[in-house]
Copies of this chain bind each other. A is one copy, B any other.
Amino acid sequence: MAEKRNERNDKLREERREQILEAALEVFARKGFVGTKASDISKYSGLSHGLTYHYFESKDEIFTELVERALKSAAAVIDYALLQPGTSADQLTWLTGIILSHTGGSSSYPFLLMVQAFTMESIPPKAKELVAEYEGLPRIRMAELVRKGQEEGSFREGDPEQLAYVYLSAIQGLSFSSFAAGRSFPVDPAHVNQLLLN
């Protein structure tokens, strides 16, 4: 009996946390960390102000957890690409396709959070530490894909890390534009892939 109740409570707690985090992600992305009031988050989540503070210690903690998730996802998608079947060129095609299809509107929120984390001084110290820790990871994993592709002969020559840097920067810029631009411009993934392919 006591077991059942605990399970129910745990599930409830987890649901509430996610409810708060989901709302916070959108509000932080749109108003910025400092521009977001704690009351904005609770209003948007449909929960009370006090309950938000029952589940999280502070506004800082909510933001920091969201940044951590975003940073980990960014590195993870490249690892997934490396696990895809086929040649390195196939994996690149998969990766570019996935990223470009996950841009615009609310899919860009984690990305916008990272932009803040990368550029703003006015973010929680722990979020800054996370950024310093994960910052270079996507580039390192991407360089691995580039090196593999060069060995297969389908990728252009050059320092793998520099090539990875150019590709990731370009695709970041496209993600940003697809959010910022009023209308949406179709982008041919193959066009982007030519930055790396022969």
Q: CB distance A181 to B32 under 8 Å? A: no
Which residues, 39 to 90 on A, are CB-close (under 8 Å) to B?
none
Query: Are the CB atoms of A119 and B172 closer together than 8 Å?
Result: no
Task: Indicate with 1 or 0, residue by residue over A156-187, a CB within 8 angstroms of chain B CB atoms.
Answer: 00000110011011111110110111100111
Q: In the complex the two chains form, is B192's CB within 8 Å of A194's CB?
A: no
Closest-CB distance, A183 to chain B (whole angstroms): 9
A182 touches B136 (CB 8 A): yes
CB–CB A176/B177 < 8 A: no
A192→B116 CA distance, assembly (Å): 26
Q: Does A195 contact B (CB under 8 A)?
A: yes
Encode A138-162 as 1/0 by CB contact (under 8 A) with B: 0000000000000000000000011
A119/B166 in contact, CB under 8 A: no
Tell me whether B172 and A118 are in contact (CB under 8 A): no
Report if A34 contacts B (CB, 8 A): yes
A120 interfacial contact with B, CB 8 Å: yes
6 contacts between A and B (CB under 8 A): A30-B120, A32-B122, A35-B120, A136-B182, A172-B173, A173-B174
Measured CB to CB, the residues of A under 8 A from B are 29-36, 112, 115-116, 118-122, 132, 135-136, 161-162, 165-166, 168-174, 176-177, 179-182, 185-187, 191-192, 194-195
